[in-house]
Amino acid sequence: MDLELKGKRALVTGGSIGIGKACAKVLAEEGCEVMIASRDAVALQAAVQDIKEATGASVKWNAIDLSERGAAEKLATWAGDLDILVNNAGAIPGGDLLSVDEDTWRQAWDLKVFGYINLCRVVYRAMKSKRSGVIVNVLGTAGEKMNANYIAGSTGNAGLMAFTRALGSASPKDGIRVLGVSPGPVATDRLVSLFKQQAAMKLGDENRYQELYAGMAFDRPATAEEIAWTVTFAASARSSYTTGVYFTVDGGLAASR
């Protein structure tokens, strides 16, 4: 299936590792001109090299902290005329209401929640002027499967889900599509590290961590590439009538509960 993405200019935030890096790689495979951004210059350079070796594509990078005021404008100016924006930067820490203090909550939201909103605002304005473009927000199923022990993340993702649906419901009048992809558990380095710690405690051997996947859909978490394929399809011409919604990719976890 030709996704008609060749030559499209795409920016992926949080693009140095995990889902963001996978999105950048798949978009590059489809012929996009890809740019990635995150706070870690070393990780960005490593990601660029990995993507080049895998696809032959040259990827531009920008080390920037999107939680800082004015960063969205700086990044958008650097990126130039975009066809696709993939918002993916940020990870919100776990904890219940009494364990997540105000500073931690605000710092996490400044990057993921307000980082998404601020970059959307700047990029949307530019896309509106040419009456074309796609924004894909990578969300998280904690926003629909509420968890009091991940209260800042559940609340933040729920807010971004509402933001995505609200903006995407009105964006067709401007020639723009806004939608989201909401992953469940994904086998990123962060999740694998967590399961290795649990395996060491529960099973006495961190190398047995995959045994703890039992009970997940298909007895495993999703791969980052599985999320990236959905993001790439959502951004493509083959999804051209889709806006104001988000795709939940969690093996049926949210629906089952």
Judge whether residue 257 has pLDDT over 70: no
Q: Are residues 113 and 86 in the same domain?
A: yes
Number of domains composing the chain:
2
Q: Are residues 121 and 202 in the same domain?
A: no
Q: Are residues 122 and 229 in the same domain?
A: yes
For residue 79, name the pLDDT band (cuts at 50, 70, 90).
very high
Q: Are residues 27 and 151 in the same domain?
A: yes
For residue 193, name the pLDDT band (cuts at 50, 70, 90).
confident
Q: Are residues 135 and 173 in the same domain?
A: yes
Which pLDDT tens digit goes with each residue over 18-49? 999 999 999 999 999 999 999 999 999 999 99
Q: Are residues 213 and 156 in the same domain?
A: no
Judge whether residue 225 has pLDDT over 90: yes
Q: Are residues 108 and 139 in the same domain?
A: yes
Q: Are residues 112 and 74 in the same domain?
A: yes
| Domain assignment of residue 59, yes or no | yes
Q: Are residues 27 and 62 in the same domain?
A: yes
Which pLDDT tens digit goes with each residue over 145-173? 889 999 999 999 999 999 999 999 999 99
pLDDT above 90: percentage of residues in the chain? 84
Tokens of 13: 């935030």
For residue 254, name the pLDDT band (cuts at 50, 70, 90).
confident
| Domain assignment of residue 251, yes or no | no
List % helix, strand, coil for the chain (3-state, nearest 5).
Answer: 55, 15, 30
Listed residue (56, 57, 64, 68) closest to 10, CA to CA: 57
Q: Are residues 43 and 151 in the same domain?
A: yes
Q: Decide: 24 and 38 in contact? Cβ < 8 Å.
A: no
For residue 50, name the pLDDT band (cuts at 50, 70, 90).
very high
Q: Are residues 157 and 200 in the same domain?
A: no
Q: Indicate the DSSP class of residue 211.
A: G
List the domain range (segments joined by +) for residue 203.
187-221
Q: Are residues 153 and 214 in the same domain?
A: no
